[in-house]
Amino acid sequence: MTIVMGLDQHRAQITAEWLDTDTGEVMRSRIAPAHRAGVRRFCERFRGQELEVALEATTGWRFVADELRRVGAAVHLAEPAETAARRGNKKRAKSDRADARHIRELLMIGRLPESWIPPDHILGSACAGAVCGTRSRISVASGSSASRRCSITTGIRNAATC
């Protein structure tokens, strides 16, 4: 059984819509508040199932992707502006359910505009104890059009931010 899911995440809540490709059944859920423990509880119901999930590369995507990977999901990160552009002209008011459905449908038809998810060794290690590891931030500063320099800064995160 394969499940294809779209998530629309916000600071306060996450809306999920998924399709069981064997039965054709579409289901929805809402995770509120949108924090790691709630996402972890939600993801556990899919452990051991073939799961493909798409979510937008907006604030909060990383911990959601981490929890999905923890249960074995294949995670796809959608580029927000291009995802919205593929919606076309609005015919009715936009909602979180409609956004989750749109992302799921783009994933299913192979038209999801994907963003790059850096590998774990770039993102930093998983949370362990009070210190989570290092987080890399890359900022690109341009001097002239011919030369660009890239600086990497690292910082320590604590468990409260994980």
Strand partners, 2: 50
pLDDT tens-place values along the chain, 162 residues long? 699 999 999 989 999 999 999 999 999 999 999 999 999 999 999 999 999 999 998 888 999 999 999 999 999 999 998 988 898 777 666 789 999 999 999 999 999 999 888 777 776 654 433 334 333 333 333 333 333 333 333 333 433 444
CA angle (110, 124, 148) in 5-degree steps: 75
E strands present in the chain: 2-9, 14-20, 26-31, 50-56, 74-78, 131-142, 148-158
pLDDT at 84: 87
Q: Which residues contact 126 (CB under 8 A, 6 or more apart)?
A: 66, 120, 132, 133
